[in-house]
Amino acid sequence: MAAKSKTMQQIRNILQQRANGLSIRAIVRHSNYSRNTIRGYLRLIERSSYTLSESLKLSDE
């Protein structure tokens, strides 16, 4: 069974925590998302043309 999709606000929260220097494990503890979910979103940003700070400014659309 697939998990529910995360909202852009939830993803932005993950990215903000990473930008603040938190480790993936620390983000997992704060968010209750799986480590693979966190890593997946971080990988998507790394592969995109956006920097971490630019991705935080993206709209919900």
In a domain, 3, yes or no: no
Label each residue of the chain as H, E or C: CCCCCCCHHHHHHHHHHHHCCCCHHHHHHHHCCCHHHHHHHHHHHHHCCCCHHHHHCCCCC
Question: What is the predicted pLDDT for the residue at 18?
Answer: 93
pLDDT of residue 58: 73
In this prediction the pTM is: 0.77
pLDDT tens-digit map of 2-59:
667 788 888 889 999 999 999 999 999 999 899 999 999 999 888 988 888 787 777 7
Assess if residue 31 is contained within a domain. yes
Amino acid at 18: R
Q: How many domains does the chain have?
A: 1
In a domain? residue 2: no
Which domain covers residue 24, as residue numbers?
8-56
Distances in Å between the alpha carbon of 48 and those of 3, 12, 21, 32, 61? 23, 15, 20, 25, 17
